Amino acid sequence: MNHLAELQRRRHGIVCACDLDDLDAVSRLLEAIDPVEGLVGYKLGSLLTLRYGLAPVVSAFRKVTTKTLFYDHQKAGLDIPSMGAGYVAVCRDAGVDALILFPLGGPTALDAFVGETVKAGLLPVVGGALPLRDYLVEGGGFVAGSALGRITERALALGARDFIVPATEVATIRRQATTLATKGTVRLFLPGIGPLGGEITRAFSAAPALMTYAIIGRAIYAAPDPGEAARRFAAEALAFEEAR
């Protein structure tokens, strides 16, 4: 079965970040939101996988959904290069479709993790920035402002075509969109919608030539009616598809 079908069919949409630690709660969430038009996949995080293990979590998701499963190891890729092949193999065998990678360990680590992901037939979804005010050096953090651009350039050369940019950083989205617009089929995934201050309309408008998807967690799963919240966000995303 092609678990990427809905993602490949839609140029715009949403991904639900399932940052919960209870599989029963996740199952109820998926039953409420999986039919939503424009929901293209789910992000599996470390809370679920640390509690239950990656393969059992994937199995639980697959009882409800056939959509793309993105695994976010909070954040994989920041490790010694020799860990790349083993990490990717475990994730592939567990049945995920895509790996979120933040290869801040340097070029060799990036080559190992992104390269092995491509080789394994999984989607590397590559980032280098988080929607946090004190993440970059200029905001009081530890990461250089140029990191995302350099990571993107090297990942592109290895075959990556899926990238993460914070939805809160509209200027950064615009710069990345300019860089990526001539690279063929490229998708942007934009976290930070809702409590962190990102907005779908502002973020998507900054990358009109690219396929764009909002990654949304608490604003869906913690909503009084997750199904209604997912429909509202998905409709906002799909409005860009209808406007093309």
Q: What's the whole-number mean pLDDT along residues 193-214?
A: 94
- pLDDT tens by residue, 87-97: 999 999 999 99
Residue 60 near residue 51, CB atoms below 8 Å:
no
| C-alpha to C-alpha distance for 47 and 184, rounded to whole angstroms | 35
Residue 126 has φ and ψ, to the nearest 5°, of -105, 130
Pairwise CA distance, residues 118 & 233, whole Å = 30
pLDDT of residue 4: 93
Cβ-contact 175, 148 below 8 angstroms:
no
Instruction: Map out the domains of the chain as residue ranges.
Output: 5-242
The CB-side HSE value for 201 (13 A sphere, CA atoms) comes to 4
CATH number of 5-242: 3.20.20.70
Mean pLDDT, all residues of the chain: 95
Question: pLDDT band for position 244 (50/70/90)?
Answer: low
How confident is the model over 145-194, as pLDDT tens digits?
899 999 999 999 999 999 999 999 999 999 999 999 888 889 999 999 98
